[in-house]
Structure 1
Amino acid sequence: MSGRENLFVLPGHVGFAEYDVPLGIAHEMTGSLQVTQNLPGSINYLIQETAKSYNADFVLIDMSPSINSINQNLFMLSDYFIIPCSPDYFCLMAIDSLCNVFPAWVEWGKRVKESRVYAEAFYPAPSTPPKFLGTISQRYRPRDKNPAKSFQKWIDKINEKVQFKLVPTLRELDMLIDKYDVQEDGSTPDYNLSYISDFNSLIAQSQKHKVAVFALTDEQIEQSGKILETQKRNREDFKKVFLELAEKIIHRTSV
Structure 2
Amino acid sequence: MIQKYGFDHILVDLGPSSGAITNLALLSCDSYFIPVTPDRFCAQAVDALARLIKVWIERHEKTISTFPPFGISSFPGEPVFLGAISQNFKAYAGRTRRPYQYWEAEILEIVRDRIVAELPSGSGSEEYVATIRDFGGLAPVAHIVGKAIFDLNREDTKFASAEGAAWQGVALESWLTRAAEYGAEIEKIAKVVGNG
Shorter-chain-normalised TM-score: which range?
Answer: 0.7 to 0.9
From 31, 51, 55, give the equivalent of 2:2: 51
Asked if residue 246 in structure 1 is aligned to residue 195 in structure 2, the reply is no
Residue by residue over 1:45-81, the C-alpha shift from the partner in whole angstroms, topping out at 9 and shown as x without a partner, is xxxxx33222111010001111011111011110001
Letter in 1 for 2:86: S
Question: 101-110 vs 55-64, which deviates more?
Answer: 101-110
Give the whole-Å Cα distance in 2 for the aligned partners of 1:190 and 1:80. 15
From 111, 130, 142, give the equivalent of 2:91: 142
Contact map agreement 1:87 1:155 (CA 8 A) in 2? yes
From 206, 217, 233, give the equivalent of 2:142: 206
Give the whole-Å Cα distance in 1 for the aligned partners of 2:49 and 2:185. 27
TM-score of the superposed pair, with normalisation by structure 1? 0.68
CA-based RMSD: 1.9
Give the whole-Å Cα distance in 1 for the aligned partners of 2:36 and 2:43. 9
Letter in 1 for 2:157: I
Give the whole-Å Cα distance in 1 for the aligned partners of 2:43 and 2:100. 13
TM-score of the superposed pair, with normalisation by structure 2? 0.87
| Percent identity of equivalent pairs | 23
* Residues 150, 58 of structure 1: alpha-carbon distance in 2 compared, 3 angstrom cutoff: same
Q: What does residue 121 of structure 2 align with?
A: 176
Asked if residue 197 in structure 1 is aligned to residue 146 in structure 2, the reply is no
How many aligned positions are there? Answer: 188
Give the whole-Å Cα distance in 2 for the aligned partners of 1:190 and 1:143. 25
Give the whole-Å Cα distance in 2 for the aligned partners of 1:229 and 1:66. 38
Q: Which structure 1 residue ranges, 5 or more long, are not aligned?
A: 1-49, 182-188
Q: What does residue 177 of structure 2 align with?
A: 233
Contact map agreement 1:131 1:176 (CA 8 A) in 2? yes
Give the whole-Å Cα distance in 1 for the aligned partners of 2:48 and 2:145. 36
Shift in Å, 1:126: 2.9
Give the whole-Å Cα distance in 1 for the aligned partners of 2:71 and 2:147. 44
SS in 1 for 2:34: strand
Residue by residue over 1:3-54, the C-alpha shift from the partner in whole angstroms, topping out at 9 and shown as x without a partner, is xxxxxxxxxxxxxxxxxxxxxxxxxxxxxxxxxxxxxxxxxxxxxxx33222
